[in-house]
């Protein structure tokens, strides 16, 4: 796989729950990270005193973040409403030439900023709220 264009990493939201995803408007930078908690099962019997981890255990999670230009479009409004209503709708993250991650996320923060001589911007953070699926491209 060769180098990829950053603008092709997209965050999409299911606007109405019908499985039709729309790219969140105005994003300039996006990021997804996957995490898994380690469960330490080291004991006095651990060989050589090395730490042992329990395979397949621990909580898995993913977080999504993005920042961009405030456009006040339908997807901007939907992201705000998801936050205020505490909903966990399905989102998709398109990772170019890699695959699609899909599942429920909660909007954990929305921030707006602007300077006197610049554009209004926003930042969005999401936390996984259930089982995620991955489909390779």
Q: What is the pLDDT along the chain (137 residues), one digit of tens a residue?
A: 677 777 788 999 998 889 999 998 888 899 999 999 999 999 999 999 999 999 988 999 999 999 999 877 888 888 889 999 999 999 999 999 899 999 999 999 999 999 999 988 999 999 999 999 999 98
Dihedral sign of CA atoms 28, 109, 64, 86 in order: negative
**For residue 88, what are the contacts with CB-CB under 8 A and spacing of at least 6?**
104, 105, 106, 129, 130
Which pTM does this prediction carry? 0.86
Taken in order of first residue, the domains within the chain and their CATH numbers are: 6-36+59-136 (2.30.110.20)
């Amino acid at each position: 796989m060769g180098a990829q264009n950053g603008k092709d990493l997209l965050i999409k939201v299911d606007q109405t729950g019908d499985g039709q995803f729309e790219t969140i408007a105005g994003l300039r930078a996006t990021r997804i990270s996957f995490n898994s908690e380690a469960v330490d099962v080291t004991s006095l019997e651990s060989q050589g005193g090395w730490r042992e981890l329990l395979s397949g255990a621990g909580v898995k999670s993913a977080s999504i973040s993005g920042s961009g230009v405030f456009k006040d479009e339908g997807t901007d409004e939907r992201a705000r409403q998801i936050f205020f209503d505490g909903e966990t709708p399905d989102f998709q993250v398109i990772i170019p030439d890699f695959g699609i991650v899909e599942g429920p996320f909660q909007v954990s923060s929305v921030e707006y900023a602007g300077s006197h001589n610049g554009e209004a911007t926003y930042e969005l953070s999401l936390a996984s709220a259930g089982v995620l699926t991955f489909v390779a491209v």
